[in-house]
Amino acid sequence: MRILLGTVNIASQLGEMKRSFEELGHEVSIYLNDFPHVNLLGSDYSDIAANHLPGWVRRNLFDGTSSFWLKALRKPFSDYRKSLIANVTKKNLDSLINDHDLFIFIWDSLLPDYSDLEKIRSAGKKIIFIFCGDDVRWFFASKQEFESLGMHPIEYDSSYFYGKRGLEFRLKRIAFAERYANLIYSKREQAQLQSRPFFHWRMTVDPFEYPVGDFHSRNVPLIVHAPSNQAVKGTKYVMRAIENLKKRNVHFNFKLIQNMNAGEVRKILQQADLVIDQLFIPGGGRLTTESLSVGAEVMTYMNYGIYDQGIGYQRQPLCPILDAGIDNIENRLYEFIETFSQASSKAHLNNHYVKEHLDVRKICHQMLCHLEEPNPVYEYIPYFYQKSFIPESKVAEKLYRKYLG
């Protein structure tokens, strides 16, 4: 089978999936619309549409600017640049469709208006769409669901699009993917606006690329926190807990990892005794899987008792992840430090858990198996939008009706 993976390399997933599908005997190409983040693991990209732009517009000149005046130019420049990228992909669209049998999309499909999805299906080709976070998670919807269960809403920073534009991006993505994809992969914590049953998206790794680190003998634990987004991951609550524990003369070492490439992060994780991932979103992200694979213990928000993800491997007693949220992170860290043991047996148990449940090879194999099933047995049926959701405004309500019915 000829497989195209695209078009955003979230958490280095595309490269690992490419190697896994190739091991299964398939021809695989990776097509990106824009350049990947510099800190991702290296991947063999077949083509990047942005490479075909004129030199002066190849890079987004205004990304990350703090200047008020430059910020005013960022959106029109970005929109213009995206239109040029879309034009490049449009020229290649027919050949891309003809040259592939299966299209697996993370975050976005080939064209920004998702019109490629209908063309792909009309050509008799298949589509798997993977939702992986804020591509579909909408603050006001997740806030309603979380608060209805006594959970804290996610705290976003100023970069989050709360307005009509941000909502429409998500609704359009959901509507077109649910209309045309053969299979949807997602997670409960982001699926408040979804309707179609889906398989659970696991933040996988290649465990052979993340082996257990050498056993380190120490009297006090090394605790690591490596947030990709400090607000969303709850970093201020982690740092508050760390400072309070230091004031209590609790003995431990702590390292905050920021702005490092994936290879450097991996080396530090292999030395860690405990890695703190995220304190708002249930389930753990890529950092959780990487850390378990190298043998560290992981503390992240799970809410085992209330927020069931619909999959057995994330339920206790099978799941080895230590549960902590913003209300109890200090106490949970204290418990870990006070009972810290240098025994290495848990490291190999954690690595085995990843090999059994979070190995990228297994999910790639499962995707192809599910694709051939006439009546797939899905892992989760989203219900919140249909049963409980209340639109946050009249403007938003019109958009919900337009895209979701």
CA pseudo-torsion sign 380, 383, 384, 385: positive
Over residues 143-170, the pLDDT tens digits come to 999 999 999 999 999 888 889 999 999 9
What percent of the chain has a predicted confidence (pLDDT) above 90?
75
Look at residue 159 in the predicted model and tell me its pLDDT. Answer: 80
Q: Contact 281/154 with Cβ under 8 angstroms?
A: yes
Q: What are phi and psi of 21, to 5 degrees?
A: -65, -35
Neighbours of 365 (CB within 10 A): 15
Structure tokens at 43: 């991947």
| Contact criterion met (CB below 8 Å) for 288 and 300 | yes
Phi, psi of 131 (to 5 degrees): -95, 135
Give mean pLDDT, residues 40-66.
74
Q: Tell the burial category of 49 from Cβ atoms under 10 Å away from its Cβ (0-12, 13-18, 19+).
A: buried
Please tell me the chain's helix, strand, coil percentages from 3-state DSSP, rounded to the nearest 5: 45, 15, 45
- pLDDT tens track for 225-264: 999 899 999 999 999 999 999 999 999 999 999 988 888 8
Q: Which helix (H) or strand (E) holds 304?
A: none
DSSP 51: G
Residues 6+ apart with CB under 8 A from 349: 320
Show the domains of the chain with their CATH numbers.
2-205+362-404 (3.40.50), 222-358 (3.40.50.2000)
For the stretch 358-373, pLDDT in tens is: 999 999 999 999 999 9
